[in-house]
């Protein structure tokens, strides 16, 4: 069956001598893995750069329901990203978020159009951000919850279901603003406060979605600090 869909690339691994297996969240099918044949060949007319994290593509997929691993027949850029892959801070945040997002999407094997629109809009906003860049990952993860069925509609929910102590009043207000304000919200906070907030958010998802600790976490912290 041929399926046309937009997709958000979350990463890839080498497959064989010239191909890759890409992890992609698609609008029509949810999260899945797809073979891209001969993309690493010297004769390939398409660049492997299309499969950098958070790239948004227009896809033609060859889907066979009896297979876990599907194939990409055609692809092209849907929305060119101009800054995410050229900026060190944005690139580090992207690698971290695609790792966490991939873990959370393991259960999203069916379409979730509202979640796709949320992620697509967030990526487009992130690419254009000039302020509040260092807070984007916090905002994204705070805003993400409801689309996955985790009702983070109040910051207290982050702490009531885990063993972490509630934040200070100042940090509580900052986290509440990060969740409710648009991307690019600029607020000054200490390195320790930012780490505490991120730890709290990750612990919430680890508790409810049973995800493991992101391998890219320490890299992100070293770049932001």
Facing residues of 11 across strands? 23
pLDDT in tens, 141-166: 999 988 988 766 667 667 666 666 66
Q: What token pair was written down for 203?
A: 């612990």
| DSSP letter string, 135-155 | GHHHHHHHHHGGGGT----ST
Task: Please give the model's pTM, rounded to 2 decimal places.
Answer: 0.92
What percent of the chain stands above pLDDT 70? 92
pLDDT in tens, 73-123: 999 999 999 999 999 999 999 999 999 999 999 876 788 999 999 999 999
The position carrying tokens 């055609």 is 74
Is residue 121 packed enough to be buried (19+ CB in 10 Å), middle (13-18) or exposed (0-12)?
Answer: exposed
What three-state secondary structure class fits 40? coil
What ranges in 72-155 are assigned the alpha helix state H? 88-104, 113-128, 136-144
Q: What token pair was written down for 118?
A: 């949320």
pLDDT in tens, 6-62: 999 999 999 999 999 999 999 999 999 999 999 998 888 888 999 999 999 999 998
Q: Domains in the chain, start-ordered, CATH in brackets? A: 2-79 (2.40.50.140), 88-224 (1.20.1440)
The mean pLDDT of the chain is 89
pLDDT at 150: 78
Spell out the residues 6+ positions from residue 116 whose beta carbon is closer than 8 angstroms to its own. 6, 8, 25, 26, 27
CA torsion sign, 81 to 49 to 133 to 159?
A: positive
What ranges in the chain are assigned the alpha helix state H? 88-104, 113-128, 136-144, 156-160, 169-180, 191-209, 217-224
Instruction: Tell me the C-alpha to C-alpha distance, in Å, between residue 49 and each of 82, 142, 220.
Output: 13, 29, 22
Longest pairwise C-alpha distance within the chain: 59
Terminus-to-terminus CA distance in the chain, angstroms? 48
pLDDT at 62: 86
User: In this model, does residue 181 exceed pLDDT 80?
Assistant: yes
pLDDT at 153: 61
Q: What token pair was written down for 45?
A: 């007319």
What percent of the chain stands above pLDDT 90? 57
């Amino acid at each position: 069956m041929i399926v046309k869909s937009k997709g958000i690339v979350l990463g890839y691994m080498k497959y064989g001598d010239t191909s890759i297996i890409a992890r992609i969240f698609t609008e029509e099918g949810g999260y899945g893995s797809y073979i891209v044949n001969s993309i690493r060949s010297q004769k390939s007319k398409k660049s492997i750069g299309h499969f950098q994290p958070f790239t948004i593509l227009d896809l033609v997929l060859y889907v066979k329901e009896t297979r876990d691993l599907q194939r990409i027949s055609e692809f092209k850029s849907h929305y060119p990203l101009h800054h995410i892959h050229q900026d060190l801070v944005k690139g580090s945040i992207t690698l971290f978020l695609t790792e966490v997002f991939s873990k959370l999407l393991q259960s999203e094997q069916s379409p979730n159009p509202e979640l796709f629109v949320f992620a697509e809009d967030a990526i487009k906003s992130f690419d254009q951000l000039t302020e509040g860049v260092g807070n984007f990952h916090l905002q994204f993860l705070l805003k993400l919850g409801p689309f996955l069925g985790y009702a983070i509609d109040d910051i207290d929910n982050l702490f009531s279901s885990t063993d972490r102590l509630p934040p200070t009043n100042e940090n509580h207000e900052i986290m509440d603003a990060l969740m409710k304000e648009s991307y690019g919200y600029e607020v000054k906070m200490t390195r320790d406060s930012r780490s505490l907030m991120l730890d709290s958010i990750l612990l919430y998802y680890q508790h409810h979605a049973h995800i493991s600790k992101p391998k890219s976490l320490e890299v992100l912290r070293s770049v932001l600090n």
